[in-house]
Amino acid sequence: MLDGLWLIQFHSPCKNDTRSGVVLFQGSELVGGDSSYYYVGSCENTDKDILLKMRLRKHSPGVSVFGHLMDFNLILSGKFAANTLLLEGLPEHREHRLQVKLSRLQ
């Protein structure tokens, strides 16, 4: 259902900042990245509900919605609608929630 290439947008309401990258879903696995981080992880989904478990590692310096985190886990949950995922989650060891939107590219 999710297989393919997706645009991922991380939004931090407390920083009023949004950063984008890409994610490739293949079965229950995902890989992706942006100009500062790469991500690997897994996904579980039903018809409408999605759970993503991701590990993010910083590969280059730069401004990030994640602050100065170098290597951390992120669990996101939310809903699937048409070709869009709307998720929320908390980076490990942080207290501010992130809003995440994924849009199917291919």
Comparing C-alpha atoms, which of 9, 65, 53, 11 is closest to residue 29? Answer: 53
The domain spanning residue 65 has which CATH number?
A: 2.40.128.380
Burial class (CB in 10 A: 0-12, 13-18, 19+), 63: exposed
Q: Which domain holds residue 27?
A: 4-104
Q: Quick one: CA torsion of 29, 7, 103, 5, rounded to 10 degrees?
A: -50
pLDDT attached to residue 10: 94
The number of folded domains in the chain is 1
pLDDT digits over 33-91, tens only? 999 999 999 999 887 899 999 999 999 988 788 888 899 999 999 998 889 999 999 88
Could you give the CA distance from residue 10 to residue 66 in angstroms, rounded to a whole number?
A: 9
